[in-house]
Structure 1
């Protein structure tokens, strides 16, 4: 499914506007504000880091202490206050209940607490390290979304032993309801917030469809899975360009209803009512820092955004990001990518088994056994669909599930009038979207030309008065202006 380019364009404008404000405040208001958290000790901003959802900068004080301040970027994050509040509660909880290396938080606040106007923020320890993503991807293609094939198995085992330990520790934490962690005024952290997943964020960010919030937390996996599957249906109905044509519209509608009808087959009845587990949607190599590429000691796990309390069976599935590229983005469900993933999974589960054995974990109840089981009973693919969005009936996880569901085409029966009405409505939406997007492009092109002409006139005026003005000459050269 394509993104709504109108929504993307507007969100990009918001992010660029925020970025300009950040650049303006970076070396003036920002250091003054941060020094107030350390008895007005002077500080300087060092390096700025641009992430998928956040911008951060390291700040060094006169006594050598270095902090990191991180902002949720409007336009990239749809609800910065909700994201930051949940992430802070998660970081405090994980740090106090596990030995996972989580940066210490010194201060944090919502948009209303930030006098710089830059929005919700977290101030934490700066951890020096190298991103695992940079080590594990091809240096000649930094945008590659697949783990390089020549990375030694011995080094992967070093990493997997540590990551498996993190998973085992998180798996020991039990909760009585599904939702998100929140911190009360008394500092107590409980499951008292509604889920805020990466899926909900991405649907709104690229389609403009704001997922209907649930009234409270969930008490069963079945209830939660139905809620999430309904999100995809709401997305399909709500995004103007969610279909390509009539055939695509009907196929996507049938796919979504068949998935909803199939949920009972993939719910673990012995875990349906809990206990539930803590899981981070954004747990991946890019959010883990190691001391150096040789030792590969993980010194920090960062970015705990999009962490929720979820059905236990989701934590009982292997990490989808072992190969970096997730199953929803594979070219097939049984090709080279699947084989490569299984090789990595064998290494990962072997290291997990060793840890479990050293801790005398019962084999039948072990997390490694349950993860292996999810690969054979289809829950791995089911969870991939629950976590992903913008999928269609041809996505690899759905193709894999279709092989496991008897008489799949009889599931989720839809009356013909409902199908026809949906298709007609989506084709109307698509036609309206196309016309509005073309008009929006034309308007922006006209506005850009006007701004370029104004800039050219200004450059010519400056050079007429100051022929040797270096900045103006440089801009003239960049714009191809002959003077």
Structure 2
């Protein structure tokens, strides 16, 4: 599904209005007040900390320590802000609602993001893996990530969804809140309709056909674990959210857990997308060029992961059936890597499907009509109805835009 540029602009305008209001309402004082509400003690100061894409963070210092972090879900960047705060899982002192919206008070962790140690120092903006990094340094970093991945993978659940904890333990409490859900609401103005998702009737038919055929592939490829167990997975798990204690070169903590949920096991079993630090939307427009850079790093990571698995198995802390390295390597051969990525990134679905998935499962592409013949009669009828609907929508003017997330509604979410 494509981004709706009008929807993106609208959300950015709301975010700007909210940020201006925020900066003019003494956020430091608010942070100190809220911190004391949940973690009593004498506060000394508050300052803007390392804010991310979906949060504004303030560090509140206490006279006798320890410090805390106030995380405010940013309006216009995160849509379901209350649900997002509910899903965060680090050690917390409390959470609540204030005039700015939902917030969370959590322990402050010392450490530098691992991505800062791995990034190319000559590149501005979001981190990109340093092409000159030594193999030793890369292996050390990948080992820290491998340890975390294996720990996450051990947790099993009998259904998919967001987690909650009570005295009896951790359980599935509600639907998962995924990174993709948030992006679709922010950038595509879901629900109901998307204005510029097709460019022509043929484009609409091709996109619909791809999704029907993709569904057939997932039913076949993911049959082994279709009924579970499901694994703990975080959409935003990456080196940028892993903090390293510089005195020991070990992990001091992992942050940004809002997009964490019990997910299909296949999400855990595929090769990591973050090996080059970049998010999928930042990869080269030619995904084959991305693979040229990716495969050498994948080999390094799998070597590190396999060695660490061997060590844990020797210590009887891991069973052979819990190994991830062979599954991750196999995911590149079967195309499961691309299937899971397409399922998690709607904006890249069509490029991924037609570049890596379709020919592997349906043979060389000759014509769209041949692929349409693979659909059953009900699907073909649904496609024809959808083509008419979407082509009518694509001709509508900008004045017909319906904002499904006006600012008054955002304040409630």
* Partner in structure 2 of residue 399 of structure 1: 355
* Partner in structure 2 of residue 97 of structure 1: none
**How many Å apart are 1:64 and its aligned residue?**
4.2
**How many Å apart are 1:59 and its aligned residue?**
0.8
> Are 1:251 and 2:206 matched, yes or no?
yes
Give the 3 Å change call, closer, same or farther, for CA 177–150 of structure 1 in structure 2.
Answer: same
**How many Å apart are 1:108 and its aligned residue?**
1.9
> Are 1:430 and 2:372 matched, yes or no?
no
**How many Å apart are 1:44 and its aligned residue?**
1.2
- Contact 2:43 2:60 (8 Å CA) reproduced: no
- Alpha-carbon distance between aligned partners in 1 of 2:60 and 2:244, rounded to the nearest angstrom: 21
* Partner in structure 2 of residue 352 of structure 1: 305
**Structure whose alpha-carbon radius of gyration is higher:** 1
* Partner in structure 2 of residue 373 of structure 1: 330
Runs of 5+ consecutive residues of structure 2 not aligned to the other structure: 366-370, 404-413
- Alpha-carbon distance between aligned partners in 2 of 1:141 and 1:246, rounded to the nearest angstrom: 41
- Contact 1:14 1:75 (8 Å CA) reproduced: yes
- Alpha-carbon distance between aligned partners in 2 of 1:266 and 1:33, rounded to the nearest angstrom: 48
- Contact 1:160 1:348 (8 Å CA) reproduced: yes
> Are 1:137 and 2:94 matched, yes or no?
no
- Alpha-carbon distance between aligned partners in 1 of 2:164 and 2:83, rounded to the nearest angstrom: 10
> Are 1:385 and 2:312 matched, yes or no?
no
Q: How does 1:69-80 map to 2 (within 5 A)?
A: 69-80=70-81
* Partner in structure 2 of residue 17 of structure 1: 17
* Partner in structure 1 of residue 236 of structure 2: 282
2:292 aligns with one of 334, 339, 358:
339
Alignment partner of 1:160: what SS?
A: helix
Give the 3 Å change call, closer, same or farther, for CA 32–263 of structure 1 in structure 2.
Answer: closer
**How many Å apart are 1:430 and its aligned residue?**
1.7
Q: More displaced, 397-406 or 414-423?
A: 414-423
> Are 1:304 and 2:257 matched, yes or no?
yes
- Alpha-carbon distance between aligned partners in 2 of 1:433 and 1:284, rounded to the nearest angstrom: 40
Give the 3 Å change call, closer, same or farther, for CA 32–295 of structure 1 in structure 2.
Answer: closer
* Partner in structure 2 of residue 154 of structure 1: 136
Deviations 1:29-51, CA, capped at 9 Å, x for gaps: 33233233344523311233331
- Contact 2:111 2:243 (8 Å CA) reproduced: yes
- Contact 1:35 1:43 (8 Å CA) reproduced: no
2:94 aligns with one of 99, 104, 107:
107
**How many Å apart are 1:412 and its aligned residue?**
3.1
> Are 1:119 and 2:69 matched, yes or no?
no
User: Which has the higher relative contact order, 1 or 2, with Cα contacts under 8 A spaced 6 or more apart?
Assistant: 2
- Contact 2:54 2:73 (8 Å CA) reproduced: yes
Deviations 1:378-406, CA, capped at 9 Å, x for gaps: 1111111111112353x135421123203
* Partner in structure 2 of residue 56 of structure 1: 57
* Partner in structure 2 of residue 273 of structure 1: 227
Deviations 1:249-304, CA, capped at 9 Å, x for gaps: 222222222212322221142x2222111000000121112233x96422221001
Provide the aligned length of Structure 1 versus Structure 2: 389
- Contact 2:38 2:105 (8 Å CA) reproduced: no
Alignment partner of 1:57: what SS?
A: strand
Runs of 5+ consecutive residues of structure 1 not aligned to the other structure: 92-103, 211-236, 441-483
Q: TM-score normalized by structure 1?
A: 0.74
- Alpha-carbon distance between aligned partners in 1 of 2:30 and 2:362, rounded to the nearest angstrom: 63
- Alpha-carbon distance between aligned partners in 1 of 2:397 and 2:218, rounded to the nearest angstrom: 33
> Whose strand proportion is higher, 1 or 2?
2
Q: TM-score normalized by structure 2?
A: 0.85
Deviations 1:96-117, CA, capped at 9 Å, x for gaps: xxxxxxxx322223x3xx3xx1
Alignment partner of 2:105: what SS?
A: strand
Superposition RMSD on alpha carbons, in Å?
A: 2.6
- Contact 1:84 1:121 (8 Å CA) reproduced: yes
Give the 3 Å change call, closer, same or farther, for CA 396–296 of structure 1 in structure 2.
Answer: farther
- Alpha-carbon distance between aligned partners in 2 of 1:176 and 1:416, rounded to the nearest angstrom: 35
1:411 aligns with one of 360, 369, 374:
374
- Contact 2:114 2:141 (8 Å CA) reproduced: no
Give the 3 Å change call, closer, same or farther, for CA 416–168 of structure 1 in structure 2.
Answer: closer
**How many Å apart are 1:70 and its aligned residue?**
0.4
* Partner in structure 2 of residue 176 of structure 1: 158
